[in-house]
Structure 1
Amino acid sequence: MYYNHIMLMKAPASLSVFVCLYVICILLEVLVLNVAQTQAQATTAPNEVKALNALYEKWGISANQNQWNISGEPCSGAAIDDSISIGTDGYNPFIKCDCSYNNKTLCHITEMQVYSLQVDGVIPDELWSLNFLTNLNVGLNLLSVPLSPSVSNLTAIKYLNFGINTLSGQLPKELGTLPELTVLYMDSSGVSGEIPSTFANLRNLESVWAFDIELTGRIPDFIGNWSNLKSL
């Protein structure tokens, strides 16, 4: 009788442990499901999808759907794979995205490479609407006409490369309104003229490449205030 009494006393404790473990398992499953659903629902901002499609159509290029742009969703595949970055061999044209917005349900295009693809003609206005870009590389192409003042829309840009192209006209003063700009490649780009006074605002510049362009006028004194500059 004493033994049976002990067993009866232990049974409720064992049952409680079992119930607790069961509840914990259910909560973990719900958490994993919610995370998976949140990640699955992350989509590219519609205006950026429209701009990217228009841009690529006008340039006559397309994404490799085995790498990214899976099922028509630009921010997918390699575009959100942290192990693959801009400049990785075999990924060109290419974009990278940040899908941390709106509780990880919204993606913005933050990097773009269209490098050495013989793209010619103008730079479509749609490019300047991608204002979450921090890295833009359209170097070594055949892009023509002046660089648009709308480059000022790229307020988050840190790395900008439009070198080795067939652009024309003067350096737009709007380049000097990009507060985060740290690296600027404009060598052999076709731009010319004086360095705009607005460039005095580019205090975050670390590297400037301006070889083989027809700059005129004197070297501005404000370059001495580019305290972060490492190469010119």
Structure 2
Amino acid sequence: MKTYKKISLIFAFLLMGMTTLSAATQSEIDGLVALYNSTGGDSWTTNTNWNNGNDPCTSNWYGVMCDSSSHIEVLDLRENNLVGSIPAEIGNLEKMTDLVLFGNNLTGSIPIEIRYLTGLDNLDLKINQLTGSIPSEIGELTLLLGLFLDGNQLSGSIPSEIGDMTSLKELDLYTNELNGSIPSEIGDLGNLEKLNLYDNQLTGSIPSAIANLDGLTKLYLFDNQLTGSIPAEIGTMVDLVDLNLSNNQLTGSIPSEIKDLTDLVKLDLSNNQLTGSIPAEIGDIVDLLDLNLSNNQLTGSIPTEIETLVTLANLDFSNNQLSGSIPTEIGDVANLVKLNLSNNYLGGEVPTEITNLEIPDDIGLELQDNCSLHSDDTGTQGFIVKKSAVANYDPEFLATQGNCPPDPDSNPVMAPIIMYLLN
């Protein structure tokens, strides 16, 4: 009899446990219902089982996943025609690990109540129409691995509290209207692997503390209004694979420490105001595929060390003030698909070694608008001026003088040559 009572008690406790596991808390349900009502839930692309009076965990509300304790764990309503604002009640979902609302028509600001979602490891609100500033309270989400706020209309500065999110691996704030400087606290994100702040209105200099991100593989700061020099400390970021600082107002020289970024595959420093010479040490970055230093104020000659960049496919040094001759070593860069050295002060003969390059006929070599480049009739028989290419230029342009420094004692000016390689 006693045994029977014990079994009955155990069974009763199990039933109580099952009952507890079967339902989300009322607070969590209120949070979901508030989101439904504030974003036009009746017009969502899919709203299966939502707001029907049943429990979201047991009746499988679309996009909702629960954990073993019947707490809302995942809310994924990506690209589901949510129209409206994120309600403050979103903070009721305190046990949630993933909040994914990207690709909707969400407006208004990010509610500060998001601070209560301290278990989040993924917050994805990208590609909406969110406005206002990034709340400083977001720094309380210290377990977050990925923060994706890109493709909105967020304004204001990047809060320094973002440096408290030390678990972050990817931070995407690009294509917004953010202004102010990059906070030095961003250097506290020691686990960060990808930092995308491009296409904003950020000003000020690149903080040297960014070099603390020694595990970073991708750094995109292009299309901003950044000033100052490229910090030499950037050479310590040895895991970088892709570095793009283009379309800013950066000044000073390219730091020689860039040679230590030996894992770099893409380097784009174009459209800045960089001066000085191209460092010979750039030849140490032997895995480069794309190298773009165009539209700066670089001077001096093209370093012969470029011959070591044997994997390079795209090389663009156009629109600078480079002088001297094209080094014969450029013919050793056998994988080049695109070579643009136009609009510089280059002179002398085009080296015959350039015929080693198997550049596609429809892309060609862009060497026009230099000072006194000319070809050796015997050495450049593999090059012609293609009619299809010349047709895009006015004949008078082809006959104009080349680009020479404003020096009365400089070499005689010769007409620019646009040469294309025959396959």
Same fold (TM over 0.5): yes
- 2:141–2:165 Cα contact (<8 Å) kept: yes
Distance 2:109 2:96 in 1: 21
Asked whether 1:163 is paired with 2:150, we answer yes
Structure 2 residues without counterparts, runs of 5 or longer: 1-6, 69-73, 83-92, 220-423
Is the partner of 2:65 in helix, strand or coil? helix
Asked whether 1:80 is paired with 2:80, we answer no
| Aligned counterpart, 1:197 | 184
| Aligned counterpart, 2:241 | none
Distance 1:180 1:68 in 2: 33
Deviation at residue 69 of structure 1 after TM alignment: 7.1
| Aligned counterpart, 1:125 | 112
Deviation at residue 124 of structure 1 after TM alignment: 2.3
Distance 1:86 1:92 in 2: 15
| Aligned counterpart, 2:206 | 219
* Aligned residues with identical type, % of pairs: 30
Mapping 1:123-162, distance limit 5 Å: 123-162=110-149
| Aligned counterpart, 1:186 | 173
More helix by share: 1
Please report the TM-score for the alignment, with normalisation by the length of structure 1: 0.66
Deviation at residue 143 of structure 1 after TM alignment: 0.8
Is the partner of 2:174 in helix, strand or coil? coil
Mapping 1:93-104, distance limit 5 Å: none
Please report the TM-score for the alignment, with normalisation by the length of structure 2: 0.39
Is the partner of 2:130 in helix, strand or coil? strand
Deviation at residue 141 of structure 1 after TM alignment: 0.8
Deviation at residue 92 of structure 1 after TM alignment: 7.7
Mapping 1:25-44, distance limit 5 Å: 36-37=18-19, 39-41=21-23, 43=25
Deviation at residue 150 of structure 1 after TM alignment: 1.5
Deviation at residue 184 of structure 1 after TM alignment: 0.7
Distance 2:65 2:50 in 1: 6
- 1:163–1:185 Cα contact (<8 Å) kept: yes
Q: Deviations over 1:121-160 (max 9, x none)?
A: 2222333322221111111111111111111222221111
Residues 174/196 of structure 1: CA separation in 2 closer, same or farther (3 Å cut): same
Distance 1:86 1:54 in 2: 14
Is the partner of 2:97 in helix, strand or coil? strand
Distance 1:197 1:72 in 2: 48
Distance 1:153 1:179 in 2: 10
Q: Deviations over 1:22-61 (max 9, x none)?
A: xxx99x98897576445325647x3x55455445544445
Deviation at residue 65 of structure 1 after TM alignment: 4.7
- 1:92–1:114 Cα contact (<8 Å) kept: no
Following TM superposition, the consecutive aligned residue runs of length 4 or more in structure 1 with deviations greater than 6 angstroms are 28-32, 67-70, 85-93
Q: Cα RMSD (Å) of the superposition? A: 3.7
Distance 2:106 2:75 in 1: 18
Aligned residues: 197
Mapping 1:53-64, distance limit 5 Å: 53-55=33-35, 57-61=37-41, 64=46
- 1:136–1:161 Cα contact (<8 Å) kept: yes
Amino acid at match of 1:141: N
Residues 211/201 of structure 1: CA separation in 2 closer, same or farther (3 Å cut): same
Deviation at residue 162 of structure 1 after TM alignment: 0.7
